[in-house]
């Protein structure tokens, strides 16, 4: 694998995260418990879709096979997607969506803060731009985790159930492979193992304030997305998201 191939794979990884999370959050449009939350979730969705567009467009350019952002978003199958398993998990109730968002936002905040130092011009600019947006996402999800976790018995239980269901998908956020190794050597991307203590510290502090308990998974963490192995949920997302462009491949906006 050369540098360009590694960069392509890395951009796909980041682009798929933004795309799948954006699609998931978009499912909330018109369904949240109050107008402000509906608008907030879809605003976060829009930021993610915007980020996905930049990342997949760049990935297509680096690959050099004339694949556009749309080709990459709509004409790949599950096993070609590299988004983290956490992000394809179903929305569930509002608590589960917020918990998923919180666990990812804290990761993304610290990740982008490091990616700002990248020697790759695009990754550097992307990080500076997206960090402004993710800072607001992180504020939203952290506030809700505390408010609902430390809320009524009912909201507390729902948040605890969400944490119990999602925690096993967090280990994978920090997994690295030969793509990371190669790009770390070029000072283009951060070493994810160095991010983990910062993520853990912040997540634990907020969960503590929210009176929630991290479940004991006895060391088990789900894995697979770096190699294209996904949970059953991704196929359903793609079926819905890709239906139109596959049915009518020449359809234009």
Name the minimum Å distance from CB 141 to other proteins.
Answer: 11
Give yes or no for residue 180 binding other proteins (CB under 8 A): no
Shortest distance, position 146 Cβ to other proteins, whole Å = 15
> Which residues between 7 and 36 bind other proteins (CB under 8 A)?
36
Q: Looking at residues 115 to 154 of the shown chain, list those that interact with other proteins (rule: CB under 8 A).
A: 121, 124-126, 128-130, 132-133, 136, 139-140
Measured from the CB atom, the residue of 35 and 248 that comes closer to other proteins is 35
Phi-psi region at 64: left, alpha or beta (left = phi > 0; alpha = psi -120 to 50): left
Residue environment code for 83-119, b if the CB has 16+ CB neighbours within 10 A, otherwise e: bbbbbbbeebebbbbbbbbbbbbbbbbbbbbbbbebe
Q: Which of 6, 40, 163, 195 binds other proteins (CB under 8 A)?
A: 40
Which alpha helices (DSSP H) does the chain contain, by range?
3-26, 35-63, 69-74, 85-88, 94-115, 121-149, 153-166, 178-185, 192-209, 233-247
Is residue 44 close enough to count as binding other proteins by CB under 8 A? yes
DSSP state of 50: H
Name 179's Cβ contacts closer than 8 Å, sequence gap at least 6. Answer: 1, 6, 9, 10, 13
User: Of the listed pieces 41-49, 73-81, 106-114, 207-215, which binds other proteins according to CB under 8 A?
Assistant: 41-49
The residue written with tokens 């680096």 in the block is 62
251 makes contact with other proteins (CB under 8 A)? no
Quote the CA–CA distance of 210 and 217 in Å, as a whole number. 20
* 104 contacts other proteins (rule: CB under 8 A): no
Name the minimum Å distance from CB 205 to other proteins.
15
d(CA 68, CA 47): 19
According to the binding rule CB under 8 A, does residue 69 interact with other proteins?
Answer: no
**Contacts to other proteins by CB under 8 A:** 36, 39-40, 43-44, 46-51, 53-54, 121, 124-126, 128-130, 132-133, 136, 139-140
């Amino acid at each position: 694998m050369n540098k360009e191939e590694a960069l392509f794979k890395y951009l796909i990884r980041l682009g798929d995260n933004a795309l799948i999370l954006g699609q998931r959050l978009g499912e909330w449009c018109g369904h949240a418990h109050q107008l402000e939350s509906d608008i907030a979730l879809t605003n976060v969705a829009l930021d993610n879709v915007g980020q996905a567009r930049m990342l997949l467009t760049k990935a297509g350019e680096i690959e050099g096979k004339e694949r556009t952002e749309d080709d990459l978003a709509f004409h790949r199958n599950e096993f070609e997607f590299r988004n983290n398993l956490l992000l394809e998990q179903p929305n569930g109730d509002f608590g589960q969506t917020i918990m998923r968002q919180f666990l990812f936002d804290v990761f993304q905040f610290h990740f982008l803060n490091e990616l700002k130092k990248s020697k790759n011009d695009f990754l550097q600019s992307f990080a500076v731009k997206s960090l402004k947006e993710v800072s607001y996402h992180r504020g939203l999800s952290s506030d809700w985790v505390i408010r609902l976790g430390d809320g009524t018995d009912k909201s507390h239980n729902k948040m605890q159930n969400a944490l119990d269901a999602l925690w096993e998908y967090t280990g994978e956020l920090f997994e690295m492979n030969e793509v990371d190794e190669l790009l770390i050597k070029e000072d283009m991307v951060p070493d994810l193992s160095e991010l983990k203590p910062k993520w853990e510290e912040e997540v634990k502090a907020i969960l503590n304030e929210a009176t929630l308990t991290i479940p004991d998974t006895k060391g088990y963490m789900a894995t697979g997305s770096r190699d294209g192995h996904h949970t059953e949920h991704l196929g359903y997302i793609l079926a819905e998201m890709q239906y139109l462009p596959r049915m009518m491949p020449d359809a234009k906006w």
